[in-house]
A and B are shown apart, each in its own frame.
Chain A
Amino acid sequence: EPEVTQTPSHQVTQMGQEVILRCVPISNHLYFYWYRQILGQKVEFLVSFYNNEISEKSEIFDDQFSVERPDGSNFTLKIRSTKLEDSAMYFCASSPPSSGGATYNEQFFGPGTRLTVL
């Protein structure tokens, strides 16, 4: 069964460093998402990506963050200058095209990347 993959599973970095989190969505999916989950808290939406551009972004997704789909298979989240509060689990998700305007658009989540900023 196709699945979303994420690398690395764990990333430890120093405050102020740049990190790139990588995701390979399911191949025929068109919508891509990044979410984050600070330890013990709920999952929060960061950004959605469709047709090679950002579709929606939350207020969390400030100028320190950027996303890219560089080669048609990878989907990356870059944090330019990490802060301590960026420590969290980062989930990538993808979903297939909507059909008939239905609200059902199951999102398939990757296993997550645990980012620790020291």
Chain B
Amino acid sequence: AQKITQTQPGMFVQEKEAVTLDCTYDTSDPSYGLFWYKQPSSGEMIFLIYQGSYDQQNATEGRYSLNFQKARKSANLVISASQLGDSAMYFCAMPQRSGSARQLTFGSGTQLTVLP
């Protein structure tokens, strides 16, 4: 079974600076993917970015990018030019490859606080 580890329970960053949120994973699947979701204090889960293990280049979506290092089994989220609205909980997740559905296994999350 997949395992997702987020070792930073809380992170602080100054507004306009970049921040890296760590995520490591463990899977025996040769083909897999990693998602990042943002959960603001209001509670909803917002999809940010995805990368598949066979993607050649690191995924980017606006200010979000994935630093994907397969050899180290890490898929860190980089947020550039942090904004106050980025303060939220961030979850890394991996689809479970069993059955026809692909339920997500989540990490424990990192609470990011952006300081003015």
Contacts and interface: CB of A to CB of B under 8 A. Distances in A.
Interface string B31-72: 111010100000111110010110000000000000000000
Contact of A106 (B43, B44, B47): B47
Contacts of A93: 45
A7 to B, nearest CB: 14
B80 interface: no
B75 to A, nearest CB: 13
Interface residues of B, number: 30
B43 A33 contact: no
A48 B96 CA distance: 11
Contacts of A89: 43
Range class of the A interface residue count: 20 to 34
Interface in A71-107: 89, 91, 93, 95, 98, 102-107
Interface in A18-61: 31, 33, 35, 41-45, 48-51, 55-56
Given A42-B108, A42-B109, A103 B32 contact: yes
Contacts of A43: 45, 91, 93, 104, 106
A105 B107 contact: no
Interface of A: 31, 33, 35, 41-45, 48-51, 55-56, 89, 91, 93, 95, 98, 102-112, 114
